Amino acid sequence: MGSKSLKMIDSMFKSYKIEKRFGKKIKSFEPGGIVFEDDSILSSDLTIFIPASAGHTVLKNSDIPLTEAGFIKIDESCLVTGTENVYAAGDIAAIEGPEWKAKQGHIAELMGKQAAYNIIMKESGSSKRKSYKEHINILCIMDTGNGAAFVFRNGKRAFAIPMPWLGHLVKRGWGQYAQLTKRGIIPRFPGL
Ligand SMILES: Cc1cc2nc3c(=O)[nH]c(=O)nc-3n(C[C@H](O)[C@H](O)[C@H](O)COP(=O)(O)OP(=O)(O)OC[C@H]3O[C@@H](n4cnc5c(N)ncnc54)[C@H](O)[C@@H]3O)c2cc1C
């Protein structure tokens, strides 16, 4: 997210009394919290664990080429490494890019669209290909229930903007818009 954005998010966390732990391995999950390698405890009423560094177990039993972390190796056209007609898009694939790269919903969608385009091009004998790499950015509205923070980063800029009360409505509105347009109930604005 960039150092400026992290500072803002840090103060946001503090205002919500959200504690953080960095650089410590998790030892175990207990009913009342999370225990770290140094036996320190982060108390919690509800623990949700998102294993960002482990691929899907289904892949482990396949012959699909995987990174050490267990994500599918692809080239920038989303073609699975070492194959001629297998494509992978979204979180399941290992994406390449700057060190701040993040797997996000809009990147997954873009990869899906580009994989479809690249399949059509290949099948029609064209050498044209689209790459997901140049579109990597971070674009996120972090909803806090009574507001939000807008976070953006690309190769040139990185910032976070607090959006008191309005941010929550924007995020909710976006959710409704995304659902209704995906289901074809209302048309999409071009490019959005
Ligand atoms: C807490 C959280 C917040 C996030 N916030 C944002 C955000 O604000 N903006 C943003 O852009 N991105 C956000 N993301 C990231 C975004 O959700 C993902 O990048 C995106 O959903 C990836 O889409 P996908 O289709 O690749 O995978 P998924 O959305 O994970 O879809 C995979 C699907 O496969 C199904 N599946 C799994 N195993 C099997 C199986 N064996 N057989 C059949 N089906 C199976 C799953 O049920 C799931 O429906 C967030 C992610 C998390 C976890």
- pLDDT per position as a tens digit, 144-160: 888 998 999 998 988 88
Atom in ligand 1 nearest the alpha carbon of residue 58: 41
Q: Please, which pLDDT band fits residue 179 given cuts at 50, 70 and 90?
A: very high
How far is Cα 33 from Cα 25, in angstroms, rounded to an integer?
14
Which residue do the tokens 């701040």 mark? 100
Q: Which protein residue has the closest C-alpha to ligand 1 atom 39?
A: 58
Q: What are phi and psi of 9, to 5 degrees?
A: -70, -35
Q: Model-level pTM?
A: 0.85
Atom in ligand 1 nearest the alpha carbon of residue 141: 8
List the one residue out of 180, 176, 178, 179 whose CA is nearest residue 192.
178
Q: What is the pLDDT of residues 88-132, one digit of tens each?
A: 999 999 999 998 898 999 999 999 999 999 999 999 999 999 999
Tell me whether residue 132 is exposed, middle or buried, using C-beta atoms within 10 angstroms of its C-beta: 0 to 12, 13 to 18, 19 or more.
buried
Q: What is the Å distance from ligand 1's center to 71 Cα?
A: 14
Q: Which sign does the torsion angle of CA 56, 57, 58, 59 carry?
A: positive
Q: Are 109 and 131 in contact (CB under 8 A)?
A: no
Mutate to test the pocket of ligand 1, among 1, 104, 138 (most ligand atoms within 8 A of CB): 104
Q: What is the Å distance from ligand 1's center to 179 Cα?
A: 15
